Amino acid sequence: MSPSTLLGIHSDTNGDTPTIIQSNPPALPDVCAKVDGRVEAFLNTEPRNERIWHVQEQTRASLKIIEEALERYSSDELSISYNGGKDCLVLLILYLAALHRHSTAKPMPKEQLNGSPQAPPRTPEPLPQTLRSVYILSPHPFPEVDAFVVTSAKTYHLSLARYAKPMREAFTDYLANEPAIRAIFVGTRRTDPHGSALKYFDPTDRGWPAFMRIHPVIDWHYAEIWAFIRELDVPYCELYDMGYTSLGGTTDTHPNPALRADPGGGGGEGKQTGFRPAYELEEDDEERLGRDR
């Protein structure tokens, strides 16, 4: 993978997967502006194939959902669930781009409201220094995942609350510690377990702590997630280059057997001999073949 230029980040000295090495990353407004610039450039590029066209359409749709969330909730009321995986990474990049657009948007003139009885759009807020976020660790986390979460959280200015406990208990404790939060962005997609019936905005189920779940990438396909990451040259966790396609914990996650390289093919591009990288997988229903549950 080529050196990343998303935020002026360059690859390591071996030229392998980009590593986030900035000791003093730009302030959050500058990060949001740079990310939005890359997203806008991608959206303005003539698509070279049908997949890229679909990714552009998915990007526009997701940005609209995030903008709607920014109209409904203040920055103090919003958080993002972030675990360093590919889906929430795409969600995070879109969130940063939407934050720049929202914070720099001009209020809509009264004459353009067309007499609508609805409340006028929320006045854009100055961006905070950091973004509220929550990281729920696997019971047996990969050190590579944890390291990527730490470095990317620093680069993208996430105020990351970490919880090593079951998800329901973790969210209960998180909201007790952050009572202002009313909605949390989640990187769930329809092909994920329990994702098929979800909507863009979904209140939590009975028995769970009450908050609005927001799913901007719910309708994205696996291959579209990777096309976005690679088109924008976004740094990602190195395990994906070793044939892992869905990251859980060390006891239930393995390289995807669908990516096992042809014995005579030299192992493909993956770092781990015998498996091709995650972005070479095509089918949604093969994404979790490397997971025991």
Is 231 within the bounds of a domain?
Answer: yes
Q: How confident is the model at residue 28 (pLDDT cuts 50, 70, 90)?
A: very high
Is 2 within the bounds of a domain?
Answer: no
Residue 1 has pLDDT above 50, yes or no: no
**In this predicted model, what pLDDT tens digit does every residue of 238-259 receive, in sequence order?**
999 999 999 999 999 999 999 9
Question: Can you give the pLDDT at residue 121?
Answer: 58
Q: How confident is the model at residue 84 (pLDDT cuts 50, 70, 90)?
A: very high
Is 94 within the bounds of a domain?
Answer: yes
Q: What is the mean pLDDT of residues 82-103?
A: 97
Is 117 within the bounds of a domain?
Answer: no
- Domain coverage including residue 96: 28-104+126-237
Question: Can you give the pLDDT at residue 192?
Answer: 85
Query: Which residues, other chains included, contact 118 with Cβ-Cβ below 8 Å and sequence gap of 6+?
Result: none
Question: Can you give the pLDDT at residue 115?
Answer: 46
Question: Can you give the pLDDT at residue 141?
Answer: 93
Question: Can you give the pLDDT at residue 18?
Answer: 43
Domain count of the chain? 1
Of 50-59, 145-154, 189-198, 264-273, least confident by mean pLDDT is 264-273
In the chain, the percentage of residues whose pLDDT exceeds 90 is: 73
Question: Can you give the pLDDT at residue 189?
Answer: 95
| Both structure tokens of 46 | 């003539």
Question: Can you give the pLDDT at residue 2?
Answer: 36
For residue 51, CA distances in Å to 47, 186, 276, 285 come to: 8, 24, 21, 18
Q: Is 138 exposed, middle or buried (0-12, 13-18, 19+ CB in 10 A)?
A: middle
Query: Which residues, other chains included, contact 59 with Cβ-Cβ below 8 Å and sequence gap of 6+?
Result: 39, 42, 43, 94, 228
Q: What is the mean pLDDT of residues 169-177?
A: 97
**In this predicted model, what pLDDT tens digit does every residue of 53-67 receive, in sequence order?**
999 999 999 999 999
**In this predicted model, what pLDDT tens digit does every residue of 200-226 receive, in sequence order?**
999 999 899 999 999 999 999 999 999
Is 162 within the bounds of a domain?
Answer: yes
Is 173 within the bounds of a domain?
Answer: yes
Residue 22 has pLDDT above 60, yes or no: no
Question: Can you give the pLDDT at residue 105?
Answer: 83
Question: Can you give the pLDDT at residue 20?
Answer: 42
Q: What is the mean pLDDT of residues 275-286?
A: 95
Is 261 within the bounds of a domain?
Answer: no
pTM recorded for the entire structure:
0.87
Q: What is the mean pLDDT of residues 280-286?
A: 94
CATH code of 48's domain: 3.40.50.620
Strands 183-185 and 201-203: unpaired
Question: Can you give the pLDDT at residue 193?
Answer: 80
Mean pLDDT computed over every residue of the chain:
87
SS (H, E, C) the chain: CCCCCCCCCCECCCCCCECCCCCCCCCHHHHHHHHHHHHHHHHCCCCCCHHHHHHHHHHHHHHHHHHHHHHHCCHHHEEEECCCCHHHHHHHHHHHHHHHHHHHCCCCCHHHCCCCCCCCCCCCCCCCCCEEEEEECCCCCCHHHHHHHHHHHHHCCEEEEEECCCHHHHHHHHHHHCCCCCEEECCCCCCCCCCCCCCCEEECCCCCCCCEEECCCCCCCHHHHHHHHHHCCCCCCHHHHHCCCCCCCCCCECCCHHHECCCCCCCCCCCCCCECCHHHCCCHHHCCCCECC
Is 80 within the bounds of a domain?
Answer: yes
